[in-house]
């Protein structure tokens, strides 16, 4: 146990002090020797409305200081099970989206080359495309659990093929996803046409619109999702706008009628047992989050993702 990195405890250093890493974990220069890492991608030049997600990684870290090592509900002990650290941020080119894409790809090729599972702090949702390209090179087509208010399968936005509303269209076209093992949860709101979500369905993916989730526990849904996704690598991409703006106001394209915090936790905990090979939490925009509400939520959801990873021990012994 002593060989695993632990978050700095609140009895060692006050929680409002000390290093500003995710969960006050050690900071590493690379993913070498790690089983899982927290990594930031501070890119928001793919957004279409309210920018600011470039500040997401820093603010999520800032709001992670209270998270303690054990998850009481599931008895998960991630830091007794896995070697975890914060490897800092990917040095994107904030003046150029196209040039940032290969920078992100190379960073994730390197992380995956170390056999490390990345837990990504976004950044806008554009970043999932270069991440999925790296995932494909390592694992082949991956299954997908995608939480979002939006399908993000636009063919283009303002004439651009790469933006935060297009990544899953490109991912499907490039064969990065195993569409029979993919689900989108929380889609809702207004669109450009009545069949906006049907393109995804035609690719073989399951779409669970937000209305199907209203007033319900998502535990039964996740039983079905685990059966659908089965064995094989799965990537989880969690756009914070999948949750209702009452819970997550600090985001770029908020939509009413969204999932609750509890439903978000049920989705992540319901992924336990899947072969998760990477997770992200994107679209947190701190300038629209004056009280840190959204970043606090995001930090805890990222911790929940860590607890859902393969190899995490539960209970004592």
**What does the binding site for Mn ion look like in residue numbers (CB under 5 A)?**
125, 148-150, 152, 239, 241
Compute the least distance from the CB of residue 150 to Mn ion, in Å. 4
Helix (H), strand (E) at residue 56: helix 56-62
Compute the least distance from the CB of residue 234 to Mn ion, in Å. 18
Specify which residues 242 forms β-bridges with. none
Place of tokens 């995490």: 312
Q: How far apart are CA 299 and CA 317, in angstroms?
A: 27
Compute the least distance from the CB of residue 216 to Mn ion, in Å. 21
Q: Which is nearer to Mn ion, 266 or 280 (CB)?
A: 280
Local structure of 219: helix, strand or coil: helix
- SS in 3 state form for 221-254? HHHHHHHHHCCCEEEEEEEHHHECCCCCCCECCC
Residues 6+ apart with CB under 8 A from 81: 4, 311, 312, 313
DSSP 306: H
The token pair at 238 is: 């969690």
Residues 6+ apart with CB under 8 A from 297: 240, 243, 247, 248, 261, 264
Compute the least distance from the CB of residue 37 to Mn ion, in Å. 22
Q: Which is nearer to Mn ion, 116 or 187 (CB)?
A: 187
Specify which residues 85 forms β-bridges with. 37
Q: How far apart are CA 257 and CA 154, in angstroms?
A: 22
Compute the least distance from the CB of residue 96 to Mn ion, in Å. 21
Q: Which is nearer to Mn ion, 150 or 269 (CB)?
A: 150
Q: Which is nearer to Mn ion, 88 or 245 (CB)?
A: 245
Compute the least distance from the CB of residue 152 to Mn ion, in Å. 4
Q: Which is nearer to Mn ion, 49 or 219 (CB)?
A: 49
Say if residues 201 and 207 touch (Cβ distance below 8 Å): yes
Q: Which is nearer to Mn ion, 35 or 241 (CB)?
A: 241
* DSSP strands (E only) in 115-262: 117-122, 142-147, 177-187, 206-209, 233-239
Q: Which is nearer to Mn ion, 148 or 178 (CB)?
A: 148
Distance in Å from the first CA to the final CA of the chain: 11
Compute the least distance from the CB of residue 99 to Mn ion, in Å. 22
Q: Which is nearer to Mn ion, 67 or 97 (CB)?
A: 97
Compute the least distance from the CB of residue 236 to Mn ion, in Å. 13
List the one residue out of 71, 58, 69 whose CA is nearest residue 22.
58
* DSSP strands (E only) in 15-170: 36-41, 84-89, 117-122, 142-147
């Amino acid at each position: 146990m002593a060989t695993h990195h632990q978050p700095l405890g609140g009895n060692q250093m006050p929680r409002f002090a000390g290093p500003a890493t995710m969960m006050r974990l050690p900071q590493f220069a690379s993913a070498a020797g790690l089983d899982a890492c927290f990594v930031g991608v501070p890119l928001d030049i793919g957004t279409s409305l309210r920018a600011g997600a470039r500040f997401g990684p820093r603010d999520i870290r800032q709001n992670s200081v209270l998270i303690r090592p054990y998850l009481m509900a599931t008895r998960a002990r991630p830091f007794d099970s896995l070697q975890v650290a914060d490897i800092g941020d990917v040095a994107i080119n904030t003046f150029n989206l196209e040039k940032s894409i290969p920078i992100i790809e190379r960073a994730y090729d390197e992380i995956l080359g170390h056999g490390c599972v990345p837990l990504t702090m976004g950044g806008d949702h554009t970043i999932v495309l270069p991440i999925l390209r790296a995932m494909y090179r390592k694992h082949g087509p991956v299954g997908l659990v995608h939480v979002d208010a939006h399908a993000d399968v636009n063919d283009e936005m303002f004439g651009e093929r790469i933006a935060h509303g297009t990544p899953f269209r490109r991912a499907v076209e490039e064969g990065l996803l195993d569409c029979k093992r993919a689900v989108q949860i929380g889609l809702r709101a207004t669109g450009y046409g009545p069949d906006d979500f049907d393109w995804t369905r035609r690719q073989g993916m399951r779409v669970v619109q937000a209305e199907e989730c209203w007033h319900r526990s998502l535990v039964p849904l996740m039983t079905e999702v685990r059966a659908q996704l089965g064995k094989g690598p799965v990537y989880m991409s969690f756009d914070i706008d999948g949750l209702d703006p009452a819970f997550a106001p600090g985001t770029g394209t908020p939509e009413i009628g969204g999932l609750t915090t509890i439903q978000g936790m049920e989705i992540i905990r319901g992924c336990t047992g899947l072969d998760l090979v990477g997770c992200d939490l994107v679209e947190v925009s701190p300038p629209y989050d004056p009280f840190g509400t959204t970043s606090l939520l995001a930090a805890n959801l990222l911790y929940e993702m860590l607890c859902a990873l393969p190899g995490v021990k539960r209970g004592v012994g």
